[in-house]
Amino acid sequence: MAIENVTLITNEELAYNELNHAYEATIAGWSKALELRDEETKGHSDRVMFLACKLARRAGLPHDKMTSFRRGVLLHDIGKMGIPDRILLKPGPLTEDEWKIMKQHPGFAYDLLSTIPYLHDSLEVPFSHHERWDGSGYPQGLKGEEIPLAARIFAIVDVWDALISDRPYRNGWEPEKIKEYLLENKGKQFDPELVELFLDMIQKQEAGIETDEDKDCVF
């Protein structure tokens, strides 16, 4: 009887692991599909994953929420699948009307992911990472700590990677210029405490200092 119980548990664990692996592979596939559609974002999700994980660990995001957080990071721009190519792939600045359409992508992400039970806990990043600390963001105009911690964390990392990366219409910014931008916008666009944590993290990274949080974020 004991052997049968052990076998049953082992089989259940194997089934769970296989299902979880299938989930993760599907999420990664969606992320890659979006990058294939928009060449400008190629490699973006992989780059932000490491930084987002490190900042989340420093910010005290509970360990049991890290899996859903990572999934949300990978899918943070999945809503852009609903944006027309003429807007998503436009090489220059958007018009006011085009920008209104672009700002709908968090809602598209919510509509897509909220129908998938195992992704319910991953919605905070795709839906809320364009909210701003001062309440001027979108889609809900949340303010301060009304914005989920996961989204506040990712907002900083997302902007860092976007600014440091080259674009067809501009060169990537130097790290020092981005640091100045983050400091100028803490308490406006970004959670001020998280900005300080992030800049300290970047300083340690530039100095080659590895912490326990960094080791936890090797995938």
Residue with tokens 């807007």: 87
Q: What pLDDT sits at residue 100? A: 97
Q: What pLDDT sits at residue 182? A: 98
Whole-number Å distance between alpha carbons of 35 and 41: 6
Name the residue range of residue 157's domain: 2-216
Half-sphere exposure of 70 (CA within 13 A, CB side): 20
Rounded alpha-carbon distances, angstroms, from residue 101 to 84, 88, 154: 9, 10, 22
> What's the predicted TM-score (pTM) here?
0.85
Chain centre to alpha carbon of residue 40 = 16
- Span 95-117, average pLDDT: 96
Q: What pLDDT sits at residue 212? A: 73
Nearest C-alpha neighbor of 113 from the set 149, 68, 153: 68
Q: What pLDDT sits at residue 208? A: 87
Q: What pLDDT sits at residue 191? A: 99
Q: What pLDDT sits at residue 219? A: 53
Tokens at residue 70, please? Answer: 């990572």
Whole-number Å distance between alpha carbons of 182 and 166: 18
pLDDT digits (tens, 9 = 90+) for 161-216: 999 987 767 888 999 999 999 999 999 999 999 999 999 999 999 988 877 766 66
Q: What DSSP letter does each residue of 62-130 carry, written as one string?
A: -GGGHHHHHHHHHTTTGGGGGS-HHHHT-SSPPPHHHHHHHTTHHHHHHHHHTTSGGGGGG-HHHHHTT
Instruction: DSSP letter for 59, please.
Output: T
Q: What pLDDT sits at residue 58? A: 95
Tokens at residue 212, please? Answer: 């326990």
Please state the φ and ψ torsions of residue 186, each to the nearest 5 degrees. -70, 135
Residue 190, beta-bridge partner list: 186
CATH code of the domain containing 176: 1.10.3210.10
Q: What pLDDT sits at residue 122? A: 95
Whole-number Å distance between alpha carbons of 58 and 213: 7
Q: Which residue has the higher pLDDT, 42 or 119?
A: 119
Q: How confident is the model at residue 137 (pLDDT cuts 50, 70, 90)?
A: very high
pLDDT digits (tens, 9 = 90+) for 35-91: 777 766 667 888 899 999 999 999 999 989 999 999 999 999 999 999 999 999 888
Q: What pLDDT sits at residue 177? A: 98
Q: What pLDDT sits at residue 17? A: 66
Question: Residue 2 above 80 pLDDT?
Answer: no
Asked if residue 106 lies in contact with residue 79, where contact means CB atoms within 8 angstroms, the answer is yes
| Overall number of domains in the chain | 1
Tokens at residue 28, please? Answer: 């990664």
Q: Which residue has the higher pLDDT, 172 or 33?
A: 172
Residue with tokens 């360990």: 63
- Span 107-135, average pLDDT: 95
Instruction: DSSP letter for 167, please.
Output: B
